[in-house]
Amino acid sequence: MIIMKKIALITSGGDAPGMNACIRAITKYCLNKKIKVIAFLDGYQGVIDNRYKALLLEDVDNIIHRGGTILGTSRSPEFKTKEGRVKAIEHLRKHEVDAFICIGGDGTFAGARVLSEEMNIPVIGIPGTIDNDIYGTDYTIGYGTALNTVVEAVDKIRDTASSHHRIFFVEVMGRDAGFIALNGAIASGADTALIPEEHTDVEELAKHLKQSAKGRRGTIVIVAEGDDAGGAKEIMQKVAPYLKGYSLRHSVLGHIQRGGAPSAFDRMLATQMGVFAVQLLEEGKRDLMVCFKNGRITSLDIQEAMKKKHIPKLSKLELLNQLQS
């Protein structure tokens, strides 16, 4: 068992519901073990600028239900430079931290890996992103809540689609991964999902919509923002010539998918991941990502998590088509 006195902590990249629950778990576990938590504000930029707060129990009391991150987050171009990292490393050494924990996505982990190499400090990454696109974990912190938000919004859009006999194209987040669009479509009973992992044939899509709209009052198409045919508005405009006489509308859900109170699942996942991250460090482990695999919390080499891509099970598209046929 490694005796640690001080751990550095950041949240970085896009915010995700459940990050606060993770911060809370790390802080409470550490303070119980007499380990200080130095939390830098606004991600890696806060490390460069030496903006920090030593977290106490009162700082994390009553935050488990809050969305976003109390530490703030950012994407720091300066950290990608050697000069920026020199400043960051200088501040980490000044604080005499024994290890570094980061909550975020691919970019966050890339920064942690560089810190590990250049400073020789143990790092542990915790996957926090609504996109669920991190290899090695079945779920990332925030994904479940974002999915619930999408389903709730689509349920409401369906009401107006049915009232006006409309085909609605609903755009959700997912620049590189279609998890939210695909599983959101299945959970909301949408007619189809368009995702980055699959090519979209506009003419075939129009034929499908004509068929699915027969005898129905409303039709829903969920579009991942990174689909190769474009966003919801662009795809709607592309299919419009094939769907003359149909009433078409589009809606972009945008950043409401990032906000809001985390679901019970995300709160539990974040709490377990936070505690496990510190336990890994206590065991002398380093350069790992905490993950949730096959129903249990485990870990994976952080570099392996960065090298590979997590993609949706495309067989779910077949399921979706079968449900709507």
Kindly indicate the confidence band of residue 28, based on its pLDDT and cuts at 50, 70 and 90: very high
Reduced to 3 states, what is the DSSP secondary structure of residue 57? helix
d(CA 261, CA 275): 21
Write the single-letter amino acid at 117: E
pLDDT tens-digit readout, 31-85: 999 999 999 999 999 999 999 999 999 999 999 999 999 999 988 889 999 999 9
d(CA 159, CA 170): 13
What does the pLDDT read at residue 203? Answer: 92
Q: What domains are there in the chain, each with its CATH number?
A: 6-142+262-307 (3.40.50.450), 146-258 (3.40.50.460)
Phi, psi (deg, nearest 5) at residue 133:
-105, 20
Give the pTM: 0.92
Tell me whether residue 287 is one of the annotated catalytic residues: no
Q: Which residues of 57-71 are buried (b: 16+ CB within 10 A; e: fewer)?
A: eebbeebbebbbbbb
- Three-state helix/strand/coil letters over 13-51: CCCCCCHHHHHHHHHHHHHHCCCEEEEECCHHHHHHHCC
d(CA 180, CA 109): 22
Higher pLDDT, 236 or 319: 236
Of the listed 15, 42, 131, 133, which one is catalytic? 131
pLDDT tens-digit readout, 111-145: 999 999 999 999 999 999 999 999 999 999 999 99
DSSP 175: S
Assign 3-state DSSP to the chain and report helix, strand, coil percentages, each to 5.
45, 20, 35
